Every structure is written in C-alpha cells, then in structure tokens.
Structure 1
Amino acid sequence: MSRICNRLRECRLVWYSKRTKNQMATEDQFEETKEMEVMEQKKVSLMRAFVERQDPTSKDVDDLMIRRFLRARGLDIEQGSSLFLKCLKWRRSFVPNGLISESEITSNLAHKKVFLQGLDKRGRPIVVSFGSKHLPKKEKGGVEEFKRFVVYTLDRICARMPAGQEKFVAIQDMEGWGYYSNSDTRGCLAALSILQDNYPERLGKMYLVHVSSVFMAAWKLVYPFIDSNTKKKIVFVENKKLKSTLLEDIDESQLPEIYGGKQPLVPIEES
C-alpha cells in the first residue's frame, strides 16, 4: 500500500512539474509577444514621423497602413518608408481621382473574371478569379486597362474588409489558361507588382487550383519576381483534394458553389 502511495506522490510531482514548466513557457511566450508588439509600435511611430517629414500627405494614413509597409520589409524602418513613399507617389499618379471608375475598365469587367463573396473562417474576404476569362487580345485597353482593373479589384476588396481585418484570401482558378487568347505573362507581372509594392500584407493566402503544365511553364518565369512573403502564402491545390483543402480554411456555407460549397459567385462590380 505504501508503495502505491509513494508512486502516486511521484506521479503528482511529475505532473505538477510539467504543468509548471508549461505554464512558465506560456508566460514567456506571452511576454515575448508583448515585447514584440511594443517594439513594433515604437517602430511604427518612428516610421510615421519620418514619412510625414518627407510627404505631409502621410498624415492622412492610419497606423495600420504604416504597419503593413513596415512588416513587408521585415520591420526595417528605412526600407519600409521607402516602399511607402513610393506607393504614395504612385497612387497620386495612377489614381489621381482617388478611385478607378468602372467606365475606365469596361473591357475587363465585361469578361466577368473576378468575383467577391463570403468570408473564410478567420473573417477574411474571399476573391475568386478565372485565368481563362482574362482575354488580353480582346481587351481594347491593353495592359494599362488591366492594371487599372487590378487596382479597382484590390480597392474594392479592401473596402469590404470586416472591422479589424486587413487580409483577404484568393482562389486563382487556372483551368483553361495558357492558350493564345488568354496567356499574358506581362499582365501577371504587372498585377504582381501592384499587389506587392502598393498593397503589401493584404494577401492572406492564395490557392492556385486547376493548374496545368502550361501554367507551370509560365510560373517558372514569374516565380523569381515573387517576394519571399508572398511565396509563403501561395498554395498549389491538387484537383482530387480541391474541396477538402479549401474547407480547411473556408466553411461550406462560404465556399463557392463551383467548388462544392453553397455560396453563389458574385461579380466584383456587384459585390
């Protein structure tokens, strides 16, 4: 009997020891996270002071936007400031009226290639785009109109972010892409540049679905231009695991119908 009691005491001591260690580890992680947040906020304040001296219009921007550019450059204030100031200059030149009107992108809207509806399990808006519906040879505005369409799309997504949310999820469907009528590496690079340079830390995850060998050949050309942060967010989805993979992050009620969910597709301009 005494042996059993001693054994129980030993088990309790081991359990309390593990519990204490786990609790201490959790507390250490909490303190470390708190310190990181304090450090990050200090850097945001320093970056704000710097960019406001360089460009007074920076005063109209909130701290969240400053933080996104800072994070995009690994919390390096100098590099984050440079990226941010270039974005402000680009925005004034490319979007002088503050927004892209639908009358400026009629050819791209006519092909119904981008849809916006639903939220993933983390509250991020879901955008679905179809590579086969991008027809650069038939779009009169050429690459310049496509670039305006990209900005229109990103602005519309950002405008529909739920309170407290900064990122979106993209499902890029490449089925049927790669033929002469819709192959557009130049357009892909232009869209990538706009996203990375002017909307940093907005993409939460991108699912590439129905990927073909033709697309993979073009992917090798585009891949070197993708920054490390964006690369981490891109997921290639196997056709046989399409629905199950998407359901890991998206509830069935929010998943587009074409992927086995219950959410009908809504064109970006009607969202």
Structure 2
Amino acid sequence: MEDNMGIGENKGQKVEDSENAESFSLQERNKIELMRALVQKQDPSSQEIDDYAMRRFLRARDLDIEKASVMLLKYLKWKRTFMPKGCISTSEIQNEIAQNKMFMQGVDKQGRPIAVVYGGRHLQNKGGLEEFKRYVVFALDKLCARTSPGKEKFVVIGDLEGFGYSNSDVRGYLASLSILQDFYPERLGKLFVVHVPYLFWTLYKIVCPFIDNNTKKKIIFVENKRLTSTLLEDIDESQLPEIYGGKQPLVPIHNA
C-alpha cells in the first residue's frame, strides 16, 4: 500500500536524488549515518526511512543522535499501532469531515503547501478524541504528500473567526499538538493565526506550556487590520485564498 506518512519514507532515496533540495551539511550526513545504524539495530523497519526524514528528527532534537533515535523509534511504534494499514481512510473520519473545517490550496513563496483551518467549526463529536486524532493525521499526510524531498515544510492559516466556548477542545488541541511535534517534526513552516478573539487567549495559556520552543517561533498572530498585507509578505496574491484577498478558491482537505 502506498504510504503518505509525513516522515517521508521513500525506500532507497538518498540525498543526491533531489535537485534543488536543501543541501545536507557534512555534520548532518555523518550523524544520519550513525543514527541509521543505531536505530536499525532496534527496529529493522527503519531501513525504509529516507535521509530527509532522518534529518528532520535530528533537527528536532538539535542534532542529538540519541534523542533523535528515541524520537524516531517512538514514531515507528506509534505508526504500527495507530495506522496498521499504513494510512487513514476517509471512512474512518466521516464525523470530522462533516464539519468542513480544513482546506488546502496554493503554495507560499517558498513553494510550501498552504492549509486553512477554521477553529470555529471544530466541535467534539460522537467519534470522540480518537476520530479527531485520525483526522489530524489524515490532514497532515495530505499536506506532506504535496511537499518534496528537501522542501518538506507546509504553512497553516488558523482562522478563529466565530471561535467560542463550544470550540475550546483542550484535549483535542493538546492531542493534535503532540502528534505534530512527536511524529511530524520539522514539518510546520509557519502558522498564521488570524481573527483571534479574546476568549482564545485563555485557551492559549493552557496549551502554550506544551508547545516546544521551535514550534513557538513559527506561530504568528496577525492583527485584523494587517491580515491581507501580512499574508502577502509570504504568499503571492495568485496563491492566497480568496477569503483573504487572493485568487485561490478553497478546496476541502479530503478532496485535495
């Protein structure tokens, strides 16, 4: 079965396979080789992991081989349990899809795919936390499938217009944060948070301690009066969603 996991598992792919990709430093090459040998002793399935994925895990742990190896092994174990078939199908997330809360269309000036998430449409549903986690993984895989080796990040616009108490799903947001940070390291390029209501700051204070420093640096809270101009600094008008003054129609993530 084809695997779209964010980790980038392209068997046998080496750093020289992708032209115009971000180059590997000599230090990274050496550490990848050492990390690969260490991880394969504990989990032979890791031989399917390409050098770009190895580098993402290394960078997420400041090039510490032991810490990055622990992180990668945790991911491999999680994947076998969470996605025994290798991917999440739409039939497993029907309640989440019905909320029509996530879209994907366009790329930023660096060629990174763009997703738009409407926080005001997220509600806990009868599928519970587990279905929501499956939906998060499904969406992340969709975004990662639009990246390329060496250009592996994506951009998210988190739109909180209409966000209220019914959308303040702390457990869900902490779970999605954990999935992003633990299993999709170095994938988020930038998160623009727009139309931020006062209520959100209470929720953010709860979630903020769980956000690692690398992720925090990628979060930009955009003032309403500077919304379009701020987004246009990173995204061409031709690629910006129509709702923010651009020309791209939004496409539901499950149809993208």
Q: Distance in 2 between matches of 1:164 and 1:46?
A: 20
Q: CA RMSD in A?
A: 1.1
**1:123–1:162 contact (8 Å) kept in structure 2:** no
> Match for residue 76 of structure 1?
64
Give the one of 229, 233, 236 matched to 2:214: 229
Tell me which stretches of 4 or more aligned residues in structure 1 moved more than 6 Å: none
- For the 8 Å contact 2:93–2:131, the answer to whether it is kept is yes
Contact 2:118 2:161 in 1 (8 A): yes
1:50 shift after superposition: 0.5
The TM-score, its normalising length taken from structure 2, stands at: 0.90
Residue 146 of structure 1 aligns with which residue? 132
Q: For residue 43 of structure 1, report the CA deviation from its aligned partner.
A: 0.5
- Aligned match of 1:179 in 143, 159, 165? 165
Aligned residues with identical type, % of pairs: 63
Q: Which has the larger radius of gyration?
A: 1
- CA distances 1:145-193 after superposition (whole Å, capped 9, x unpaired): 000000000011111114542000000001111222x220110000000
Normalised TM-score (structure 1): 0.85
Aligned residues: 234
Judge conservation of contact 2:104–2:250 (CA < 8 Å) in 1.
Answer: yes
Aligned 8 A contact 1:206 1:235 in 2: yes
Question: 2:113–2:143: 8 Å Cα contact kept in structure 1?
Answer: yes
| Aligned equivalents of 1:269, 1:37: Cα separation in 2 | 37
> Counterpart of 2:77?
89
1:134 correspondence with 2:119: no
- Residues 193-204 of structure 1: pairs in structure 2 closer than 5 A: 193-204=178-189
Aligned counterpart in structure 1 of residue 98 of structure 2, from 104, 107, 110: 110
The partner residue of 2:223 within 208, 233, 238 is 238
Equivalent in 227, 243, 248 of residue 263 of structure 1: 248
The separation in 1 between residues aligned to 2:178 and 2:161, in whole angstroms, is 23
Measure the CA separation in 2 of the matches of 1:210 and 1:186. Answer: 22
Name the SS of the counterpart of 2:164 in structure 1: coil
Take 1:85 and 1:268, find their aligned partners in 2: how far apart are those partners? Answer: 29
Deviations 1:47-84, CA, capped at 9 Å, x for gaps: 01100111000001101001100000000000000001
Unaligned stretches of 5+ in structure 2?
1-22
Kept in 1: contact 2:154–2:190 (CA 8 A): yes
Distance in 2 between residues matched to 1:91 and 1:163, nearest whole Å: 21
The structure, 1 or 2, with the larger RCO (C-alpha pairs under 8 Å, 6+ apart) is 2
Amino acid of the structure 1 residue aligned with 2:88: I
Question: Which amino acid in the other structure matches residue 146 of structure 2?
Answer: R
1:166 counterpart (137, 145, 152): 152
| AA at the equivalent of 2:82 | F
Q: Greater helix share, 1 or 2?
A: 1
